[in-house]
Structure 1
């Protein structure tokens, strides 16, 4: 069974919480003990960074200048006590890990410390017998505090996310609010990228250090043309995590965007597809100056993207149902799920096939009127000869890009989509994917189209991407009076250059492409022209 090919996601660069540095403020009026304990702590574990204070006043000054991850404080400080300092700390930092150290066990001191919500309580005698015991106590207290803070931050962000979705009226407004919220939570830059009608990447919303985007991102660039994580995620329809830490301060060869990112102080880039029910709308990308993105943070970003995808699909369907606008959806197939993929696979990597017209030739064959770029006529003919899916090829013009008619055996996915009620825009095929762009009518749905393609090629054979935010119209204005055959004849004549001067093909050649007689072709073509002219006159 064929299916969409999704490249492997970059290996996660996030580090587990247990490797993050821990800053400790060690407070004791005994300078010798402080100095000895500091060396012992830092030698016991490389992640500990210890600073010291030797009085109550000095501890106050140190806490005013910086916020440590943990405080280790002796009870006797000369100009105050550890419990008094604990009370002051708890007034502003109710959960900051605070470990009280005493020379001897004292139930009164212990009771007072517990009353002020001390994190831990230890005797110096016990530390002397177990030199590494304090390290374990510090690590345990800090990891518990970090987990609690992460959960609280996550809850706040989720509540803010829900509020943002509720109050935002349009996609642009929602995207802007989401990006602002992510920047406010600590990311240096955030943006949402979508595709325009030509599959070029354009920003829907940005926030934070947008100078990077202006320097590194060229709007309109197609996903396959750039390796920046946003583009990779759009191309692969999967998450991408990219670390820039190895490039900082080195002469390692890097892409232009990587150097710009490093110059802006970014350490990690995370790009998450925005999707819902198999419909891909774009990518949410964040840039962090923190060198680590852990699994919890990635999961939260994924939830953001999924929520945005749900909101985007909701607004898309609202727009479709409540107005005359239509939605353009792209269906991506690979792994042999399209009759032109076999041909694309044997052509040069830079070649592309664009089929603007797909016409049932008879009950057994389908004609793709195709423009082929990046290949010569000889190479194309050789490729056709090596494939089993292409029945024949007719060349209409070969001056700039090759225009030809490729005949394949039925069934074809495009004809099934037309039966499902969509209007085809074009099919673009390279060596990896066939991407079918279709305009949804008020009666057609993405799920119905996916079901049709899944029935033809198997479950999991299609990915869908919403490619146009604004209302779009089909390539040729529909005329209700045209029959299907008249429309097919007219479209083929336009695509094959029949109306150009000098004329590229005659009616006999085009009739052969549709497997009908020349007289029948001419009859349908003239009938279609008369109806078009009549419709234009009556406007």
Structure 2
């Protein structure tokens, strides 16, 4: 090669490392290396010529590629491997080594080696492999998580289906959650209206909580906040200030979840779950706990509805109202008059009928149309000392929500800014849930009385429902308007034309609806076999 300077110069200036080893000498020492090899490895020629190229190997050089090179050299065959090598300064790099034998007259005299730095490519490959493995790990983790979640949801749902009481639902749900490996303890509590506290009714994974209560207005407490706001709360770092349960702190709990139990517009309590891992409540866990919370609340709601036909007592709840609670209380103060509730009807929105005493009808109408929650106020009849008004309310009014739960308004009055409401809670509906629903809409209302009485063979609500099922909406509305307006009184206070106009229909159509409703009502009366 020394006789051919252009070839030697080309090899020296090649972009990859090139070495030549003497195959005829023991241990195949290097007899030549180019400048690129020196730049690649940091080893000068005077330190490498005369020694085997294995000086590039080090602690993390794998045996397999070394063995492959050794075998190929022994068999005088070409070989290509990739392995970790080390520069003179000790830094690692990935070296792609290609070795080929050189022969003269059939005898291998030299081995030429080509070294290429492939560190960037290998690192990219390792990164891709790492990401693939990470994705596979996450996929497997997700698969196990979904299997656990599916099993948890199925177990809780199946158990709730077979539960026959609220206590049974609560105990079953808490026990299954506490048995799950991801959680440490669970409890369900409901709000006590008279004390405004959360009272644990069922628990698992911890001691008896029957003597523990939590104030609903506890500052910063996730359980109280979930109950008040109706929004699930998740805490990944539970400090002592937030953990009101002594044994929970002793168990080194680190995270908690508080899920409100809401169904049919009623909050039935709160589910609280604890875990020892900071990251226990990730996105998937939050979804499943919210689903379990809805399932528990739906079970409570279904059991409450089912009991309507089986419980033998009904409850009357008396509330005092402030002027900010319901629209007519504030109106009674503004107009200096008295309101007395006459009934309700539905025409897309809720219609509430009130007799107003000792007030100018025009003044009442103008004030009502500016009142919050009132869409319109219609004067049906006007007398010397009293007037009958129809107030159109939103379809989600408090009256509508109470009626949907079967709660009847026994009486509702207001005089000069002070109001009173008596609710008749049908047998089987939990009075506590009614108090809660009423208090949410009327924040300054105060429960001042609670009375129980024996349930009649058929409640007023049940009889009224059986009649209403036979009437169309328009027939029922015509009948209600005629009744509350005094249309059937000996001295009729409102004419058919006036009532028809209030419904936006002709007088003839109004009378058709009214006659049809009367016929169905009389049929229901006589079909029941009620004697004269």
TM-score, structure 1 length as denominator? 0.40
Choose between structure 1 and 2 for higher RCO, CA contacts under 8 A separated by at least 6 residues: 1
TM-score using structure 2 length: 0.41
Q: Which has the higher strand share?
A: 2
Q: Greater Rg, structure 1 or structure 2?
A: 2
